[in-house]
Amino acid sequence: MHLRRQILDILADGLFHSGEELGEVLGISRMAVWKHIHSLRECGVDMEVIKGKGYRFPSSVELLDADAIHAAALPGTRRQLAGIETLFEVDSTNNRLRQQALEGAPSGMVCLAEMQSAGRGRRNRSWVSPFASNLCLSLLWRSDCGIAGLGGMSLVCGVAVLRCLEQFGITSGGLKWPNDVLVNDAKLAGILIDVIGEATGSCAVVVGVGINVAMPEQASERIGQPWTDLCSLTGMEQFPRNLLAARTLDSLLAAIGEFTASGLQGFLDDWSRYDVMAGRQVDVHLPGETVSGRACGIDETGALLVQTASGHQRFASGEVSVRVVP
């Protein structure tokens, strides 16, 4: 794994590097280099291989670096972090932190990965995570308020992510209840909350954030909805992913602190400002039933309000899926 990371570090500049050069730097044979390159390509790493020139990524990339993320975070954030783990590949950063939480990991643990083999969103939908094309970040936070006191948590984290993105010039973003970040109705980011614990006692919350950074066009074949990414929106060829990770943690931890102190109330105005569904016709898909109506924002608990033919109805997130009617 150490050699594989060294190869990635060398190729991150987007230039050609020969097998001979890589072998000399790494102290291994050209055949060993080829085997590592083959392994990376088998994992889904997009790489050009040209005889006589060597190997390169199609473009330069900024690989995740735990030390760089920690250094870029605000002092208040650094004090709350218990550790930052950056991985080449994992099934899901949320799954990894869930397991660590069950093993007693402290609040403030962070896991990031260059790619996920089984990334997921709400209702176990897949989250497409090609190599170095997203920010896949999960944060473990422990609470004494119990699961019952976490209502609206995904909405709070959605607001936090949008506050973060505004620092990078993304001012046209909005929130689709309960956990999607959209720009012009195209998905830019999503939030997944996993909770472990008791209804009224201590619990562990894993906040997962996925942000599209520089998605390859071929990813469209596996994404069943309109999407966008930060490089397209900002015009940057290479987006500073480590700085993005640090600012995401800054924003999440600040929002979680505010939520712990005063609940959802302090986020309702921002949510209303970001709400992209308010006033639009929606279909609310429930197990075995679909309810149609006009979205009317959220109530003080974070439930979705919909004006239907039979009057106002409210929906908690749970196993609910909402689609805007074109």
The question of whether 222 is a catalytic residue gets the answer no
Q: Measure the CA–CA gap between 37 and 114, rounded to whole angstroms.
A: 16
Kindly tell me the burial class for residue 104, based on how many C-beta atoms sit within 10 Å of its own C-beta (0-12, 13-18, 19 or more).
Answer: exposed
DSSP string, 78-98: HHH--EEEEEEEES-HHHHHH
Kindly tell me the burial class for residue 231, based on how many C-beta atoms sit within 10 Å of its own C-beta (0-12, 13-18, 19 or more).
Answer: middle
Q: Measure the CA–CA gap between 248 and 245, rounded to whole angstroms.
A: 5
Active-site residue, from 30, 142, 294, 323: 323
What the block records as the tokens of 253 is: 């931890």
Active-site residue, from 122, 163, 241, 247: 122
Active-site residue, from 96, 98, 187, 247: 187
Tally: H helices and E strands in the chain: 10, 14
The question of whether 120 is a catalytic residue gets the answer no
Q: Measure the CA–CA gap between 218 and 199, rounded to whole angstroms.
A: 43
The question of whether 187 is a catalytic residue gets the answer yes
Q: Name 4's Cβ contacts closer than 8 Å, sequence gap at least 6.
A: 36, 39, 40, 88
- Sign of the dihedral through C-alpha 251, 323, 303, 140: negative
- For the annotated catalytic residues, the residue numbers are 122, 187, 323
